[in-house]
Structure formats: C-alpha cells, structure tokens
Amino acid sequence: MSAIIYPTTNLNQIEQLRICRGDGIYVYDEEGNRYLEGLSGLWCASLGYGNEELIDAINQQLKTLPYSQLFGGRTHQRAIDLADELASMVPVDDARIFFANSGSEANDSHVKMLRYYFNVIGKPQKKKIIAFEKSYHGVTVAAAALTGLPAMHTHFDLPTEALGIIRTATPHYYHGQMNGESESEFVTRLVDDVEALILREGEETIAAFIAEPVGGAAGVMVPPGGYFPALKKVLEKYNILFWADEVICGFGRTGNDFGCTTMEVKPDLMSLAKQLSSAYIPISASIIPGFMHEAMRDPSEQIGIFGHGYTYTGHPVACAAALKTLEIYKRDRLFENAAVVGAYMQTRLREFSEHPLVGEVRGTGLIAAVELMKDKRMRTSFSDGRVGAMAKQFCQEQGLLIRAVAGNSLAFCPPLIISNAQVDEMVSMFGAALEKTLDFATREKLFSR
C-alpha cells in the first residue's frame, strides 16, 4: 500500500488495477492486459492515448517556455491565443476567459466572480445559486456545495447554506414523472416549480442557476427536449444568469461543439475543462460575459488588483496542449464524428433496453448510461450500489473500463476517436458483463423479475 490518499475511492479498497500505458482508446495494466477505455479515463481523454501531435506540441512548449505566470500584468502568447480561440467558439456574449486547472476550480472561480460582480454593481444581496438536487459540479468547497450528491457532502460539513445554494428537481423524466404525465407536462411542472422557488426566495437574492446540459457523474441525466429553453425564459424574466457547467459536455461530447447547443439554450456563464486539453495537461476555463468583466475593471483598480488567481493560471504548457487539441478537433471534424458514431453507440446500447436488469438507457452523442433496476416494471431502484459495483467489476474482467455512477447507472463516455467497430467491441464486452451481473443479482436475491 502506497502513501497516496486516493480520490473518490473506498479507502479500504485501493490499488486494484495498475495502469501502465495507453494507445488509442485502449490502456494496459502491468500484466499486459488490454482494456477499452469506455469512460475516456474520467470523461476527459477525448483524443485517446499516445497522440503524437499533442505530445509534440507539449514537448515543444516545454523546450521554449515551460512556465510563466499571469499575475500583475505579465502574460504570454499561448494564454492570449487560447483565450481568443475559446472566445470565438463559445456562445457567450463578448466572452472573457479565466484559466485554472480543474473543473472544480473553474466552478469555485465562478462563485467568487459572481459575488464580486453583484457586490460592485450594488446588489450585494444577490448571491444565491440554484442547482439541481442530483448534480455534480466538483469537490472543492464551493463546487462540492453546488454538487447534489450525498457522498460528496457526508462528513465534510460543507457551507451550503452560507454559500446560498438552493435546490430544485433534476429534470429526469424516467424517475421524476407523475402517473400519466407527458414529457411536456413534466417540463412545465418543473419549470413552474423553479419560478415558484424564485418568488419564494426573492429574485433580488438569486445570482445564477447552474446546470450541466447533460448530467455526468449524477447519472448521465438527459433533460427532456424543451426543458432548458423554457427554464432560460424564466431566468431571463427574473434577471438570473444561466451558468452552464460544460466540464463534461464541452467539445463534442454530445455530438455538438457544446452541450448547450445540443440542448438549445444560450448560457451566460460557462465552465470548461477535461476535453479542453484531452486531459494531457490539466487546464480549465471560467467564461463570463463582457458586461461582468467590464463592471469588475474599475473596482480592481481601486483596490490595486483583482484578488483571485492561481500559480498555474494560464500555464503555457497547458495552453499549448489545449490549442493543439482544439486544432485537431476542427481539422479532423471530431465533433461531427461524435455525432455520427455517437448515434450508432446510442442505438447499440438501446439493444439492452429489454434486458431484465435494465430500467433505462439514456444519452446523446458519445455519452450514455445504462441504469440497472431492482424492478423495472415498478421503476424500483436497488437499495444500495452493490449491483452497479459488481457490473463495473465484471466489465473490467471482460476488458472494458466504465464507471458506476449515482448508484447503479453504468456510464459510457469513450474517446471521440472511437469507431463503429470499436463501439461493437465495447457493446459485446458489456453484454457479457451484464449477464454475469444478472446471475449475481439473482443469486444474491437482490433482483425482482
């Protein structure tokens, strides 16, 4: 046992799989066993492993300028170029970019910048943030408070109330629908509930509404069509900013440039990370509209600085990696590939819809989940995550690495470079693992036929 404290891990069950190298969409353990990376590492290795162009760009930057910082008026061309490239891509008006190292840091930075902005424009009471009940936005203190997963809160005493985090229902029709309620009626009810929440809390107290266009670690939740456009109308009515957490959805994952494009909603703020550099070097971005940045300029001069930033903000090697990654996405039309191969993956995974254990198959583009249920007829979930954990282990034994999220939903998020033939390989391994999972659940009397 090493001295590492492992993240998001049962600390009594560590070091079970040691990965030594990667090639394309595959990784290999110390014994030479090959695994298909069905989750792109952690939703992030979009270009797979061993991309020589990306490695060369990183190496060249290391030789030229391995580090420089952005404090106190200093800059470097890589950071400028990346900020300008992102500003040209994102659907945020007059976008301004703040760089950090992870999605959690990007979201923490947004919390601080929202507070800064509303303070300097004379609305210090406008600090609350609405988030979904089931959601994931990171693990730093503020980002974890935004997150709506019990395991991320238990024992940590997060300052959720102090930060003004308030919750609304996750727009997951499969579990959230009332008897006989259509999807459109479900959308209307949930959006009406948001409006009622705003009126109860006071619109003058609410700064923003944060949401992933498609939820990731919360279970790959895909809202019904029309949810986000209807929500945005309500938010605009009450002058509340819509903040899109695109840490997972951004850069082709949903089959479009951004998840907001797929869900037909225009964000005011965006958080980006993961696929921004294909995870070769950590980097993230908090994106705000120009009017927020403009309001922050003179107050920073009065104080002497804008008092927020990281040692590695705009790290030149990370910026070089991100610039090359964006170049490859465009040149190789990988967003379009994600749409085409993603549609094929969704079709193949939906072949499991009639399996006795499978309650719902959901997703869009190259992100999906297969949710395992105790009783699919009654939509009854398992009481704990044992079945999902076993399914993940059986997948690993078949040579497929995926993740059980939100209990017993098995998440798929392969690299954007995956082919139809490799999707078939992935689905075949998953099918074999699913049968083993059914045997386990039946043997342990966890499953109601």
Cβ burial, residue 112 (10 Å; 0-12/13-18/19+) = middle
User: pLDDT band for position 449 (50/70/90)?
Assistant: low
Token pair recorded at residue 306: 């804008």
Mean predicted lDDT score pLDDT of the chain: 96
Q: Residue range 34-48: average pLDDT?
A: 98
Q: Residue range 119-142: average pLDDT?
A: 98
Q: For the whole model, what pTM was predicted?
A: 0.96
Single out the residue of 326, 283, 418 nearest to residue 88, CA to CA. 326
pLDDT digits (tens, 9 = 90+) for 223-247: 999 999 999 999 999 999 999 999 9
Token pair recorded at residue 269: 């703020």
pLDDT digits (tens, 9 = 90+) for 204-227: 999 999 999 999 999 999 999 999
Q: Residue range 58-87: average pLDDT?
A: 98
- In 10 A of CB 242, how many CB atoms? 22
C-beta of residue 391 within 8 angstroms of C-beta of residue 398: no
pLDDT digits (tens, 9 = 90+) for 381-418: 998 999 999 999 999 999 999 999 988 999 999 999 99
C-beta of residue 399 within 8 angstroms of C-beta of residue 35: yes
The pLDDT of residue 8 is: 87
Amino acid at 329: Y
The pLDDT of residue 11 is: 86
Task: State the alpha helices, DSSP H only, in 126-182.
Answer: 141-146, 173-176
Q: Round to whole Å and give the CA distance between 264 and 91.
A: 11
pLDDT digits (tens, 9 = 90+) for 325-373: 999 999 999 999 999 999 999 999 999 999 999 999 999 999 999 999 9
The pLDDT of residue 447 is: 74
Q: Round to whole Å and give the CA distance between 190 and 88.
A: 33
C-beta of residue 398 within 8 angstroms of C-beta of residue 35: no
- In 10 A of CB 95, how many CB atoms? 21
Q: Round to whole Å and give the CA distance between 338 and 342.
A: 5
Token pair recorded at residue 272: 């980006």
The pLDDT of residue 400 is: 98
Q: Round to whole Å and give the CA distance between 37 and 394.
A: 14
Length of the chain, please? 449
CATH class of 54-331: alpha beta
Domain extent listing, the chain: 54-331, 333-443
The pLDDT of residue 97 is: 98
Q: Residue range 412-425: average pLDDT?
A: 98
Q: Round to whole Å and give the CA distance between 424 and 348.
A: 8
CATH 3.30.2270.10 for domain 333-443: no
